[in-house]
Chain A
C-alpha cells in the first residue's frame, strides 16, 4: 500500500515535470533552441498566483488563468526581444542568451519580492478539494496529486490534437522538420515560433501552480531545479517529441520518488541523472526520439 502511495506521488511529481518538459521540447523542436529561462517563467507564474490567490484572495481558477496570461505575455515578449534577433545566430549565442534571461528573471524576482521563501497556499485545497481515501483509509491520495495527474493528461491529449489536427499545429510540425521549406510554402515562421513560446509559457504557469501546491514554498529560485529536471525529462523522452516529454516526465518523477523512499533521499537526484546517462548511452536520441536526419 505504501508503495502505491509513493508511486502515485511520483506520477504526480512526474506530471509536473512533463508539463514543464512540454515547453522545453516544443520550443526545441520548433525553434531549435534550449530555452533555459523556461523554469524561471514557472517561478514568475507562481508568484502571480501567490499574490492573486494568497494575497488578494481571488478565486483559485481565476488566479491560475491570470498567471497563464502573464506567463504567455512574458514568454512571447522574451522571444521577441531576446531570441528573435538571434534567429540566424549560432546556437551557442542563443543558449548563452537564454541563460542570461534565466538569471535576469531570478534577480528581478529577488529585487521585487526578496530572496526569502514564501509559504504558498495550495490552490487545489483553496478550491475546496479534499484528499481521496481508499481501502478504508489505508491509502490517501492528496487532492493535489489527483488534480495534477488529470491536468497533465488532459493537456497532453489537447496538445497532441492541436498539433496534429489544426492548421497552426501543422505549421509547427512543418517548421520543426524544415524551417526553410516551411517558409517557402508560405508558413509564417516567426508567428509559429511565437505561438510555440506562448503555449509553452501558458503550460509553465499551470505547472507552477501545481508544483507549488504540492511543495508549498516559493522563492526566486523555485523554478531552477524543476526546470533542469524537466529538461532532463525532455531529453530522456527524446527532445522534440511531445509524447516523449510526457513519458520522460512521468518516469523521472516516479524514479525520483521511489529512490527517495527506498534508497536514499540525498542520492535521489544523483540516481535520476544516472538513469539519464544510461539511457543516453544506450539510446542517444532518448526513449521516443526521432532519428536525426542529416541533410546534405
Chain B
C-alpha cells in the first residue's frame, strides 16, 4: 500500500477553482516532485495536505488513515511535516528550542511536573535535548544550537526548518521550494542533504521546486500542475520531453 494516496482532490475559493481532480500516489521512501508554473496551485496542494485548507472535494489517505479535512495539529501527529516557501521559524527562540517545539507531539507530561521540575520531567527534557542535538548535527547546526534562529544565515535557516519538521517524526516530509534563494553550491549541498535525510529517516519526501536541475536531479517521480490540474506525470526524463509541460512553461498552445 502506498504511503500517501490523494484522489480527486480539489478546492475552490469562492468561484475560483484553485485545484481540481488531483490524483497523486507517493510510495514509502520516495522522492517526489511537484512542479508547475507560478500560480499553478502547488502550495495550495501543500496547504490541503497539511490541513491549512479544507479540500472541497476528494480524499487524502496517509498510511491507510483518512486525514481529509483534519486540523493541522492532527495531521502533524498523523505524520506529515512541512517547511515553508517563505521561512517561518520561531525567530526569537533558540535554534535548539525551534527543534524542540517540533517534538511537542511526542512528549507527555503534566503541567505540574514541568513547573516543579520533577525527575520525570528532567529525564524527558534530557532525552529531548539529546534528540534535538542529534538532529541539529545532521544539518551541521549543532554548533549554533544556542543562537536565536533569526541570527542564522539564510541557508542555515532553510536547513533548520527541515530539522524542525523532522523533529515531528514524520512519515512524509513536504518541502516548499527548499532551494529558493540558494546559490548553485548551496543547492548542490542541499540535494545531498535531502537524499541523505530520505535514506537516514526512511521517509518519503514531496517537494515543490522551481530549480529544474534540483528536481530532475533527485526526484524519482514528478507531477506537473498547471492551472490547478495535472498536465503530466512520470520520471524526470519523460517530463522534460513532454510537449504539454514545455508549453506550460514557455507559453504557446
Residues of A within 8 A of B (CB): 158, 162, 165-171, 173-174, 177-178, 180-189, 195, 290, 293, 295-296
Contacts and interface: CB of A to CB of B under 8 A. Distances in A.
Nearest to B121: A166
Contacts of B101: 170-171, 173-174, 182, 185, 187
Contacts of A184: 50-52, 72-73, 76, 81-82
6 smallest beta-carbon distances between A and B, as pairs = A186-B76, A186-B105, A166-B114, A181-B88, A183-B72, A177-B90
A177 B87 CA distance: 13
Nearest to B90: A177
Contact of A171 (B50, B89, B104): B104
Interface residues of B, number: 36
A169 B50 CA distance: 24
B86 interface: yes
A185 B81 contact: yes
A125 B82 CA distance: 57
A224 B82 CA distance: 45
A69 to B, nearest CB: 14
A173 B88 CA distance: 14
B92 A290 contact: yes
A296 B77 CA distance: 28
Nearest to B75: A184
A170 B100 CA distance: 8
- Most B CB within 10 A of own CB, among A173, A177, A195, A295: A177
Given A170-B101, A173-B92, A183 B71 contact: yes
A187 B104 contact: yes
B104 A167 contact: yes
Nearest to A195: B111
Contacts of A295: 86, 88
A170 B93 contact: yes
B45 to A, nearest CB: 15
- Most B CB within 10 A of own CB, among A165, A167, A168, A169: A167
A189 B51 CA distance: 14
Contacts of A293: 91
A241 to B, nearest CB: 10
Nearest to A182: B101
Nearest to B98: A174
Nearest to A171: B104
Contacts of B168: 185-186
Contacts of B71: 183
B91 A180 contact: no
Given A166-B114, A180-B88, A184-B82, A173 B93 contact: yes
Interface string B68-84: 00011100110001101
B90 A186 contact: no
Nearest to A183: B72
A167 B97 CA distance: 9
A206 to B, nearest CB: 16
A295 B84 CA distance: 13
Nearest to A296: B86
A185 B128 CA distance: 15
A173 B109 contact: no
A108 B155 CA distance: 57
Contacts of A170: 93, 97, 100-101, 104
17 contacts: A158-B115, A162-B115, A169-B114, A170-B97, A170-B100, A171-B101, A171-B104, A177-B91, A177-B92, A181-B90, A184-B51, A185-B81, A185-B167, A186-B76, A186-B102, A186-B105, A290-B92
B107 A188 contact: no
Contacts of A189: 73
